[in-house]
Structure 1
């Protein structure tokens, strides 16, 4: 068994059984090992940012890390934007980065780079596998770090000679199940006193607190105390829709966010921090809470939010309280012109039960979340890191993680161009992904931000830098070239019909929404 085979065997043995790969010459032995191991699923991606984004989507739905295969330093660099997004979403990931053999590096070949230097700012754990005999140990440690709570980014650098040399008997570290820490009892008691005060309180949920038992218990606390439940504008994954505990979304724009938060005397944070503006704006604050509002951490990022809510219910004497639940709202299919409201109504009417909704719609879909609260139960995934080009890769990974669920991916045309290669992987793997591209032929969000920043009225030359209509992108031709059927729509009724139709057959679909 060579080092590459030892690495793949260890990955699979530690529960990492999928690899999103974009291999190069240095990784041929690793590629052979992937192909020869029937327990490992290898998924080819045509750009490294698709690899890392898909691994992020896999983790968000499975809560277990995937692996990626990236080609040397430049390949890692291509994947860093979506590693950044994954890190901000607390997603676990094991990146295998190929490297020249030690004997070749001394000649400074063209692809030589400081891979550790590239990896370290966005990785929680970085190691170079220096010997085939220790590669199993290194790999097991990488998986252990990636599997912690919150999830971590682990990067293992694989030199070519380590990959092809023979490995000895594998000795692995004993891997204890990653346990979440117990929240502080003093913090729980303090928050219980805040809630008993009756003063207006917002509990902000994030990460694991926005789903499962933790969310249901948060709904019971809200019902017992009158506190409101909220989330940051972007959240890694929320279980929402009819029958689930509803969470209000703090607005993105600073004035609206400040107006929303002004009503609260107390903010309780769960696996997150207090709300902060996404960018700095002239004459606007970075912290969004009102003056005098008190912030009370309840659950830190590495703690167990479900346990914290159980402790809080006991402290409040409210263990028997039924949770708040969202009522089903039957939204009729809209007709007429396409605008943010009709798009939101079409989405609410068309979402099938148990769908996964990946949102990078920015301007066009900003109203959608408020109007889909009462839709059929579904999961919502947002971009936590703000680096665009995340949605189509994340949707790809989510579809592989949950092959029995339809994934809807909403993305603006500017963002879609970053990682449109995802469509090819979706077609190759025949994934049930409906990609919705909102084609307004511009970076529309930047037009709004131009005004928000107080940069004055943009002239023609400035506008030309945020318009993408000369030439217009032919999305249907692009989808066709990658094997994905497509349709273009101009009205709300056609948009609704296209979404419903996309769920009737297996495989990927593309809907171009002409705005």
Structure 2
């Protein structure tokens, strides 16, 4: 077999059987090999950032990598923003980047670039497969590297002549080490802090935001009389009725400061110490209160749910976690607002839903009214690079075909990767997208004031507004094969959301918000 066939066979044997693709000339032998290895599902994306974001959503929901096929350095560069988000989410991904044939690189043809350097900015593992005889072993190593706890991006550079040359063979999957146990002395040290009688707080992230970890963390927090927070942007938070109560730490620095005021011991579980999202004049970057000591319970590569369960035993925690009671808000009427949209979502969110949140300013009020909805997952914008929502929703729907996916999307962010709608239509994915049309980069209006920039003039405001002409998301979605409607009142949104949830396949609702 040739190198491309051996690569795909090795990936499939290692349970990497989905490839989100935007290929070019150098990857044509990979494309042709899909017919020789039909177990690999190829999903065409019209932009590389959609492919990389979809792989992120797939990995978050399955815990195992998808593959991504990209064309040379510029193709990788187009996908970097969502690979950055995936890196911050610690999502396992195998990225395959085609390159020129080895002998052709010396000619410095137009698409020649330093792929290895670009890949290194987001990847925890990079390898160039120089010979077809090596490709099976290299592919197996890439999968193992991507699955190394807690998950990372592994990039395999595939020269065209390696892909087309014969003499390759597939390789068996490599073993993946289980997460390490947190040492007993580290657990004992944290237990002593929690028993000190001084004000403590727990902040969890990573793998500790799934139900098992949250149950144990809730028990620990109850024993210590400490508040339980999760990171501001969790890769995947399991929440809803019957699941542990946990508060997401706010994004705004002043709100974080207020929530942590008086805390003398902050215990971190799979998460970084809280810092300000940006630098602001005369404001601190480190948001840990003065006089507060930070304690880490293990590392992100450790078995954090197991460590929390052992810690619960050490501190004599109650047997049961504090669980969220079931409860739905009443459906609103009248003009749409962020409050009424949150109540509609909380009232109608189906059980088992996967909510992908890139609403930015429009979804800050969503946690409250959705807290008592049936159990669901909430996926957030982990790395801050916008254009994530539609692609992540696409990958999540591929990963979990039996579950409804709800994408909460800002209008400015949606335009970065709007072509993901075409892939959703082509694949028949059950994604309902709510685009919040406030016709501006609303978050930047607030950031102007936060950084102390004077922006009262029309030229500055013009760079933050999305009018002239206004974006017609219903028309764009329809043009890409996604049924779409527009909601201007609460009654409109209730009717359209119910219909979208009841019908198979993708839908989009253009949620028109009142102007400023």
Same-fold call, TM cutoff 0.5: yes
Task: Choose which of 321, 327, 343 in structure 2 pairs with 1:345.
Answer: 343
Label 1:512 to 1:171 Cα distance change in 2 as closer, same or farther (>3 A): closer
- Write the distance in 2 (CA, Å) between the matches of 1:402 and 1:161: 36
Task: Choose which of 395, 398, 401 in structure 1 pairs with 2:396.
Answer: 398
Quote the residue 2:480 is aligned against: 482
Quote the residue 2:274 is aligned against: 275
Q: Check whether the contact 2:404–2:431 (CA below 8 A) recurs between aligned residues.
A: yes
Quote the residue 2:446 is aligned against: 448
Partner of 1:11, secondary structure, is: helix
Q: Is 1:467 matched with 2:465?
A: yes
Label 1:461 to 1:171 Cα distance change in 2 as closer, same or farther (>3 A): closer
Q: Check whether the contact 2:136–2:169 (CA below 8 A) recurs between aligned residues.
A: no
Task: Choose which of 431, 436, 442 in structure 2 pairs with 1:433.
Answer: 431
TM-score, normalised to structure 1's length? 0.98
Q: Check whether the contact 1:10–1:139 (CA below 8 A) recurs between aligned residues.
A: yes
Larger deviation, residues 17-26 vs 326-335: 326-335
Q: Is 1:164 matched with 2:174?
A: no
* CA shift digits 1:458-488 (9 cap, x unpaired): 3100010111101111111100110000110
Report deviation, 1:321: 1.5
Quote the residue 2:206 is aligned against: 207
* CA shift digits 1:92-143 (9 cap, x unpaired): 1001111111122222111111111111111111111100011000000000
Partner of 1:79, secondary structure, is: helix
- Write the distance in 2 (CA, Å) between the matches of 1:175 and 1:116: 24
* CA shift digits 1:425-448 (9 cap, x unpaired): 000000000011001111000001
Larger deviation, residues 101-110 vs 422-431: 101-110
Q: Check whether the contact 1:391–1:409 (CA below 8 A) recurs between aligned residues.
A: yes
Trace 1:132-143 onto structure 2 (pairs within 5 A). Answer: 132-143=132-143
Larger deviation, residues 487-496 vs 417-426: 487-496
* CA shift digits 1:192-234 (9 cap, x unpaired): 1122223322111111101132122112222333222101211
Larger deviation, residues 385-394 vs 35-44: 35-44
- Write the distance in 2 (CA, Å) between the matches of 1:38 and 1:25: 21
Quote the residue 1:242 is aligned against: 241
Quote the residue 1:20 is aligned against: 20
Quote the residue 1:184 is aligned against: 183
- Write the distance in 2 (CA, Å) between the matches of 1:73 and 1:397: 23
Q: Check whether the contact 1:222–1:323 (CA below 8 A) recurs between aligned residues.
A: no
Trace 1:3-14 onto structure 2 (pairs within 5 A). Answer: 3-14=3-14
Count of matched residue pairs: 513
Report deviation, 1:170: 4.3
Quote the residue 1:289 is aligned against: 288
Q: Check whether the contact 1:223–1:321 (CA below 8 A) recurs between aligned residues.
A: no
Q: Check whether the contact 2:73–2:114 (CA below 8 A) recurs between aligned residues.
A: yes
* CA shift digits 1:230-258 (9 cap, x unpaired): 01211111000100001111111111111
Partner of 2:180, secondary structure, is: coil
Larger deviation, residues 466-475 vs 58-67: 466-475
* CA shift digits 1:353-383 (9 cap, x unpaired): 1100000111111111132111111100001
Q: Is 1:420 matched with 2:418?
A: yes
- Write the distance in 2 (CA, Å) between the matches of 1:354 and 1:149: 26
- Write the distance in 2 (CA, Å) between the matches of 1:292 and 1:506: 54
Q: Check whether the contact 1:438–1:514 (CA below 8 A) recurs between aligned residues.
A: yes
Q: Check whether the contact 2:200–2:224 (CA below 8 A) recurs between aligned residues.
A: no
Larger deviation, residues 444-453 vs 101-110: 101-110
Quote the residue 2:116 is aligned against: 116
- What is the Cα-based RMSD across aligned positions, in Å? 1.2
- Write the distance in 1 (CA, Å) between the matches of 2:143 and 2:170: 15
- Write the distance in 2 (CA, Å) between the matches of 1:180 and 1:303: 5
For structure 1, which runs of at least 5 residues remain unmatched after alignment?
none
Trace 1:40-55 onto structure 2 (pairs within 5 A). Answer: 40-55=40-55
Q: Check whether the contact 2:61–2:400 (CA below 8 A) recurs between aligned residues.
A: yes
Larger deviation, residues 501-510 vs 258-267: 258-267
Quote the residue 1:262 is aligned against: 261
Partner of 2:8, secondary structure, is: helix
Report deviation, 1:169: 4.1
Report deviation, 1:278: 0.5
Q: Check whether the contact 1:208–1:305 (CA below 8 A) recurs between aligned residues.
A: yes
